[in-house]
Amino acid sequence: MQATAPRVFLALAAALMLAAPAAGQKKVSEEQAVATARAALEAAPVFDGHNDTPGQLRTRRNNQINDFDFTDTTATADPATGKGAMHTDLTRLKAGKVGAQFWSVYVPHNANEAAAVQQTIEQIDVTKRLIARYPQAMRYAETADQVEAAMRDGRIASLLGMEGGYSIGSNLGVLRQFYALGARYMTLTHNSNTAWADAATDDPKHGGLTDFGKDVVREMNRLGMLVDLSHVSEKVMHDALDVARAPVIFSHSGARGVTPHPRNVPDSVLARLPENGGIVMVVALPRFINEELRQWDARRNAEIARLRVVHLGNPEAAAAAMDAWLASNPEPKSTISDVADHIDHIRKVAGVEHIGIGGDYDGMPIGPVGMEDVSGYPALFVELARRGYSQAELEMIASRNALRVLRAAEAYAASVADELPIETPINPPTKPE
């Protein structure tokens, strides 16, 4: 990546002056913190695990991008639909020191798996077309070597990650073809269960991974596709770790020991990461990283339900009462410090070698205060430097850990290149009448 002007980092110091180091952490001056963060991100730009720009292209533009300007998306708010401005563009990615990005070719959960397969192909297409439109800024990548080469040349290495196992239509042949199309990770579920794996935010159906689900993990390992365990249930996390022979990732998750949201990773799983070699790419989504905000959500939802009963048949009165409640109970704000707290916890339980960055930008309404969009990553690294993280540790968190994991998945695939694919039985064709 090209150098970002030092004033970007100096401006961050003023924003962070009031924050104090956590108890027991080495005090570092603002000047030292800014210099350490700047040096780390120059040496190892951010390798972000999850960005939902492709989904925004689908919902906002119906994948029509020939006249879409990705250099600046700050004016993309649409009051008619209630959508705020996008979080991501080339200008802000550069300011955020992002050197590599997994673009999420996500499609909504669809019980019609054939439709989900087609929609995922459409998202791969629009993402590749977006990358190709900006060759001076982005470069398509499929391997760790290609990522490093793109970063050396000042381009944003752009990889594809599938989110939601329904995208493969419960068929390993389809999985293999998605790998051939460039997908280098797959999140086994999204918010709902798949036919073979339980999601963290759905009622358990399978008790973890089914036998087919375990074969999905094995085949992903054989191919060199990263197994992404964000969104899955705790039992699926353990089942996948039992089966996996290559490092896993959590492309955008926090630590449940800090915020007990089901989307976050419990300590029982964090403790297994050193043996597996995997990483948690820490998310910035406020409701995953701030417990006060999560509890406020619960109180708000309870109040909505209560007022509907109290004002039964009178929605105007219920709405007015809810407005009054919100005025008296303002929504808490999540901050950069919350993100850093999750990184601290993962370092304590699993070690700094098992931490990465996976913001989830353009997959949430807005990021934490100070990290509202992709330009905010330098502020996070200044905060970590203030907490005593060394330049070498910051480089690991920024991209070196992610590159190690990607390279390890490739190495395992190479080591089993002589193994035959796992075959999936298909339904016999219907006989003509």
Active site residue 261: no
Asked about 72 being catalytic, the answer comes back as no
Is there a contact between 346 and 239 (Cβ–Cβ < 8 Å)? no
Annotation says 311 is catalytic: no
- Distance (Å, rounded) from C-alpha 414 to C-alpha 105? 26
- Say which of 87, 206, 231, 342 is annotated catalytic: 231
Active-site residue, from 87, 190, 238, 354: 190
Q: Would residue 231 show up in a list of annotated catalytic residues for this protein?
A: yes
| Residue 67 annotated in active site | no
**Gap between the Cα atoms of 318 and 375, Å rounded:** 39
**Set 353, 360, 393, 395: catalytic member:** 360
Amino acid sitting at position 118: Q
Catalytic residue among 89, 113, 142, 163: 163
Kindly name the residue from 50, 87, 342, 354 that is annotated as catalytic: 50
Determine the residue type at 156.
I
Single out the catalytic residue among 48, 52, 148, 344. 52
Of the residues 87, 206, 238, 252, which is catalytic? 252
Is 297 noted as a catalytic residue in this protein?
Answer: no
Quote the CA–CA distance of 52 and 181 in Å, as a whole number: 19
Is 163 a residue of the active site?
Answer: yes
Q: Which residues are catalytic?
A: 50, 52, 163, 190, 231, 252, 360
